[in-house]
Structure 1
Amino acid sequence: MTSSSFSVSLPLDPNGMRETHTDAVDVLDKALLASFEGATVMHAFDPTRMVALSHGGPPLWSVGVASHPSGAHQFLTYGLSRAVDPASPFNFELALRVRSSGEAPMWPTLLLRTLARYHLTTGREIKPGQFMDLGGPISQVPCTPEERHTMPTTRMTSVFITAGAKLPTPRGPVEIRNVLGLDPDEQDLLTSVHAARFVEAMRQRDPSLSVALDSPSLAAPGPFRDAMEEASRREGSDCTTACAIPGFRWEDTGKALEITIPATEAKRLHRRIV
């Protein structure tokens, strides 16, 4: 038998310790438990979760998941909202429902952690009705290049955020924002219509707004595409992107986001920032 161990270096500065409001955590746990009858909540904890992000800790206290034997898994972040982590500037958490047979997959946890790091390190929100092109499969982009082959692939390369419920907590209301996956053709459809119209049509097909990596594209010829093209002609579009930089790539190293911007876009981005 072999044994393994790890050590965690805690900051000497007391401000370097993460503060977590357990009463708000309890509310989120109950919301996850309500996802499925008889569900239990499992937490993907980072060993350094007690260290604040500002002192090298992870972006989140946890990502929780509730699973159903049918293959439905509900994931939820803990720590994007100031109700859970008072150091956060935001009042929302991110949720992602996935259809995948067997045990809960790992990639949704990694994706939500990466999106949380983006929000907390840039201070910019991906708001409901906005999307972000990740530059690669949503199930693999959060991993290092050497590890991506260990995760399933998918046609989906963008995340799209939709508004969800608001949960009352002892620390104030927490908005739940849903994360969806889109492929390039679906993204084109989305940008041609009002975001609310697109979400309404998605809910008519699947009220749970679940993500299945191997599902057929909604942009394939058929009723969904026809309805969106008609809506585009009739109403126009209001959907925006959180980051519209051709060739933009990012990698979550676990400590920071490493961003690659093509040289042809660097000057334009500099003008937008300054």
Structure 2
Amino acid sequence: MMWDTVTDALSRLYPRAQPWHVTYPAEGFALSAASAYPAHGHWHFVSYGLGERHGFELTVRVARGAEQQPPQWPFLLLNQVAGLAVAAVEPFEEGQWADLGAPITGYPHTDGPPTGLSVVILAGDPELGDRFLQLVGVTAAEALAGEVDSDDPLLVTDVSRA
């Protein structure tokens, strides 16, 4: 998947949004770049750089308050999971999960708050389709039980819930 494909998909979803962009240094990072789009009640983050090699990009939706700038920790989370995808023997697919062994926010090493969410489950992004795997933050107990909070059709991760 080329960068233009990702940008076009997000531009259709958020036609008036001004996204935040980050680029990653070439060495030591699995991704080339990522963007965050302000959406109703959440930030929608998307990766750039996996699609050409792996056929999918990663997304994560993070609950949003009144802040005008996105938190930085989801950019680090995307890169961390992208690194796992690059190192994996088998391709990532919907339904898999990764136990990060620490808060998904990177707390206390990032701007992220403390949370009990330490596992990400991969789901198809509900608005972008199966070429975008969405990270959904859950607790280790929820992952072991196979539970994802399905009350929210967009599967927004709210780190304050655990």
Query: Shorter chain as normaliser: what TM range?
Result: 0.7 to 0.9
Partners in 2 of 1:119 and 1:214 — Cα distance? 27
Q: Are residue 208 (structure 1) and residue 162 (structure 2) matched?
A: no
Cα distance in 2 between the residues matched to 1:100 and 1:39: 15
What amino acid is the match of 1:63?
A: A
C-alpha displacement of 1:71: 4.2
Query: Is the 8 Å Cα contact of residues 72 and 111 (structure 2) preserved in structure 1?
Result: no
1:67 corresponds to: 38
Q: Which residue of structure 2 aligns with residue 11 of structure 1?
A: none
- For normalisation by structure 1, the TM-score amounts to 0.52
Structure possessing the higher relative contact order (Cα contacts under 8 Å, 6 or more residues apart): 2
What's the CA shift for 1:122?
A: 3.6
Structure 2 residue 121 is the aligned partner of structure 1 residue 160: yes
Find out whether 1:42 has 2:20 as its counterpart: yes
1:178 corresponds to: 134
Find the counterpart in structure 1 of residue 3 from structure 2. 25
Choose which of 51, 61, 68 in structure 2 pairs with 1:97.
61
Stretches of structure 2 lacking an aligned partner (at least 5 in a row)? none
1:159, distance to aligned residue in structure 2 (A): 0.6
Give the drift of 1:125. Answer: 3.3
Kindly tell me the number of residue pairs found equivalent between the two proteins.
Answer: 158
Aligned residue type for 2:103:
P
Of Structure 1 and Structure 2, which has the larger fraction of its residues in helix? 1
Q: RMSD of the alignment, in Å?
A: 2.4
Q: Is the 8 A contact 1:33 1:66 kept in 2?
A: no
| Structure (1/2) with the larger strand percentage | 2
Q: TM-score, normalised by structure 2?
A: 0.84
Q: Which has the larger radius of gyration?
A: 1
- Distance in 1 of aligned mates of 2:42 and 2:110: 24
Q: Would the alpha carbon gap of residues 67 and 149 (structure 1) be closer, same or farther in structure 2, given more than 3 Å must change?
A: closer
Structure 1: tracts of 5 or more residues without a match? 1-20, 50-55, 83-87, 142-146, 167-173, 191-197, 217-274
Distance, in Å, in 2 between the alignment partners of 1:188 and 1:67 is: 32
CA offsets per residue over residues 12-57 of structure 1, 9 Å max, x none? xxxxxxxxx8xx32221122233345212221112x34xxxxxx35
Identity of aligned residues (%): 25
Say whether 1:106 aligns with 2:52.
Answer: no
Look up the match of 2:48: 78
